[in-house]
Amino acid sequence: MRIEAVNDFVIRFANVNGTGSASANNMFSKAVFRMGVPVSPKNIFPSNIQGLPTWFEVRVTEKGYLGSRGDVDFVVAINGQTMKKDYDTLMPGGYFLFDSTKALPRDFQRDDIIEIGIPLTQMCIDNYSNPRQRQLFKNIIYVGALAYLFDMELEVLTGMVKDQFAKKEKLIAPNIGALELGYNYAKEHYPDTCGLKVQRRDNVGESIIIDGNSAAGLGAIYGGATFVGWYPITPSTSVVEAFEKYAKKYRVDAETGQNNFAILQAEDELSAIGMAIGANWNGARAFTATSGPGVSLMSEFLGLAYFAEIPVVLMDIQRSGPSTGMPTRTQQSDIISAAYASHGDTKQVLLIPCDPAECFEMSAQAFDLADRLQTPVILMSDLDLGMNDHMSRPFKWDDERKYDRGKVLTADDLDKMTERWGRYKDVDGDGIGYRTYPGTHPTKGSYFTRGSSHDEYAAYTEDSSVYEDNMQRLVLKWETAKGVVPKPQIKYRDKNSKVAAIFYGTSAQASYEALDGLEAEGTKINTCRIKSFPFHEDIKSFIEEHDTIFVIEQNRDAQMRTLLLNEFNTGTEKLRSILNIDGMPIRARRIKRKIERMLSGEKVNPFTTARSAQEEVEA
């Protein structure tokens, strides 16, 4: 029995990295999108430049489920190193496209799948003489074959080739030639073979396709960031690369040719955030981007910015930890280390986007919040969101929007002031004092910024009560923060239901899909998507309203659950974890199966990941 589906399947490309496969696979994915069918591509790549296995998974999803589904219906197996595994893990009834220049080894003996052999290497040898072309066009040929097998519009693909090589015209004809080679081979040898189809729809609307890091970099441009200090680390590097790309496009003064921005590659992460803090202290909006190991290194400075009350924006593109972990695999495992980053009593504001549109919006908003609250704001993205293309709402910007620079005194304000100004004096009752930028006024408004204990006037103090008052004022400021950070997204499928789920960031899409599936079977589960820390009071009432709450996240230690318990001091019995730590995006099918079993009263281990699912132990 072959799998049959229209606009609803998962295809996985197994390639060797450094062979140009990524752009061909992206072309396939974008072609599906341009046929009006929602698509979700995921690049699963090694921490390596050339020669190791890499996979590219494309989910074709008419209903617009953009999370990872789980299971593979069609595999394009171009990598000899992983071919056996790719063969064995294919769903029964699935399709196995391979390079038939060489016959399949003898131990490839499944009779429940459909094998599609295309002599890619031989076709390249026959048609191209240049070795690099032989390698690159192999990828384009299989894309052409897929177009036939899935009954796609070949013109969409040829149109993309024309767009892509608009500036290198002589590459257009050979690329189209390669597409046709594959298309015609499949047409001749595999008519009516494939039960998976891509048919034109009108389901993507206004959507765009972009990766979260580009969106975050663009958000920083729109949010008015002028300076970046950074240190390269996967998967955050492309945030700064995007910022630079857009800055060169939008921020070079037409008359002088000079930059209305500055970017410095620092010597390490300590320096990167130190620079960003220095610039913010001096009144420019500045940020840095990093991943887990960088957050560890930046913790000391995050404490300084917290205590000396200096705005700074940090973008943490999380990856698998601990330590170096799996640098090119995703996770949501910096939640606690970011929320309480630094020694002493510290709490940091977190923003948690779930798609590129939110990466853009929250990145821009982070600068307003940091200035308003005079404290670090950390954007908690991850590798899946940051480095994969995602279909997303388009970006929007209101031209009337003004940057909220928070409480900053001008020379005029200082001149008009009758009472004595104190940098850390809480005159408004919200825990936030008034800042001055260096150089504002010849005789007023100067103060000494320090990470040592200080009084309302920024003077050093070791007076216990003055220290304590200052620390308690920071708690009041934290309360103020709760009112200005993004509220959670709460959805009731059934007001009377006592079952709920809490999730955040990239766990959201797969969770919504799993819960839709359960709802179709009659189980209605209310949801709360957390978008920020400090937690909004609505989250507490949401927990109180329900008896069983699944907390779905991508780390081993249930970090968000821990944070919820710690902050609200309630829910220990109700909050039940569903966890994923294999470095792949959490999959909808597995969440659904896990919840079904938990709801049926089974005692199951909370991990949805491959190994623990197979060897599940009673938990």
Partner 1 sequence: MSYLRSSFRHPQAKKNKLGYTQANYEGALSTLCAGCGHDSISNSIINACFELSLEPHKIAKMSGIGCSSKTPAYFLSNSHGFNSVHGRMPSVTTGANMANRDLTYIGVSGDGDTASIGMGQFMHLVRRNLNMVYIVMNNGVYGLTKGQDSATADLGSASKKGVPNMYEPMDLCELAISLGSGYVARSFSGDKDQLVPLIQGAIKHNGFALIDCISPCVTFNNNPQSTKSYEWVRDHKEATGTFDLVPFEQEIQVQSPDANKETITLHDGSVINLHRQPESLDITCRESVLSALEEAKQNKHVLTGLLHLNTDSKNTHEIINTSQRPLNSMKEEDLCPGSDLLEALNQSLR
213-252: which residues touch partner 1 (CB under 8 A)? 218, 221-222, 224, 226-227, 229, 246, 250-251
Query: Between 196 and 277, whose beta carbon lies closer to partner 1?
Result: 277
What element of type H or E holds 469?
Answer: helix 464-484
Query: Between 192 and 267, whose beta carbon lies closer to partner 1?
Result: 267
Q: Is 421 in the site for partner 1 (CB under 8 A)?
A: no
Q: Is 398 in the site for partner 1 (CB under 8 A)?
A: yes
Q: Give me the least distance between CB of 599 and partner 1, in Å please.
A: 40
Residue 561 Cα to chain centre, angstroms = 20
| Interacting positions 176-205 with partner 1 (CB under 8 A) | 204
Q: Give me the least distance between CB of 173 and partner 1, in Å please.
A: 24
Query: Between 402 and 416, whose beta carbon lies closer to partner 1?
Result: 402
Q: Is 262 in the site for partner 1 (CB under 8 A)?
A: yes
Query: Between 445 and 585, whose beta carbon lies closer to partner 1?
Result: 445
| Interacting positions 21-40 with partner 1 (CB under 8 A) | 33-34
Residues 584, 500, 379: CA angle, nearest 5 degrees: 50
DSSP 8-state assignment for residue 460: B
Q: Is 271 in the site for partner 1 (CB under 8 A)?
A: yes
User: Considering only CA atoms, which of 139, 5, 115, 126 is closest in space to residue 59?
Assistant: 5
User: CA dist 349 to 311, 337, 417, 532, Å?
Assistant: 11, 12, 31, 7
Query: Between 128 and 281, whose beta carbon lies closer to partner 1?
Result: 281
- Evaluated on CA atoms 357, 359, 360, 365, the torsion sign reads positive
| Interacting positions 574-613 with partner 1 (CB under 8 A) | none
Pair of tokens at residue 136: 């690159």
Q: Which of 118, 124, 186, 272 binds partner 1 (CB under 8 A)?
A: 272
Beta carbons of 236 and 289 less than 8 angstroms apart: yes
| Interacting positions 70-109 with partner 1 (CB under 8 A) | none
What number of chain residues touch partner 1 (CB under 8 A)?
75
Query: Between 404 and 547, whose beta carbon lies closer to partner 1?
Result: 404
Q: Give me the least distance between CB of 409 and partner 1, in Å please.
A: 13
Query: Between 33 and 45, whose beta carbon lies closer to partner 1?
Result: 33
DSSP 8-state assignment for residue 427: S
334: which residues sit within 8 A by CB, 6+ positions away? 291, 292, 295, 316, 318, 321, 380
Q: Is 570 in the site for partner 1 (CB under 8 A)?
A: no
Query: Between 256 and 572, whose beta carbon lies closer to partner 1?
Result: 256
Q: Give me the least distance between CB of 271 and partner 1, in Å please.
A: 4
Q: Give me the least distance between CB of 165 and partner 1, in Å please.
A: 16
User: CA dist 53 to 15, 19, 84, 94, 140, Å?
Assistant: 6, 11, 13, 21, 19
| Interacting positions 464-493 with partner 1 (CB under 8 A) | none
Q: Is 436 in the site for partner 1 (CB under 8 A)?
A: yes
User: CA dist 1 to 77, 111, 146, 195, Å?
Assistant: 21, 10, 20, 10
Q: Is 256 in the site for partner 1 (CB under 8 A)?
A: yes
| Interacting positions 299-338 with partner 1 (CB under 8 A) | 300-301, 304
Q: Which of 279, 297, 379, 575 binds partner 1 (CB under 8 A)?
A: 279
Alpha helices in 207-268 (DSSP H): 212-222, 237-250
Beta carbons of 350 and 337 less than 8 angstroms apart: no
Query: Between 342 and 511, whose beta carbon lies closer to partner 1?
Result: 342
Alpha-carbon distance of 207 to 215, in angstroms, equals 14
Q: Is 289 in the site for partner 1 (CB under 8 A)?
A: no
User: Considering only CA atoms, which of 381, 353, 379, 358 is closest in space to residue 531?
Assistant: 353
Q: Is 282 in the site for partner 1 (CB under 8 A)?
A: yes
Q: Is 402 in the site for partner 1 (CB under 8 A)?
A: yes
User: Considering only CA atoms, which of 54, 41, 119 is closest in space to residue 82?
Assistant: 54
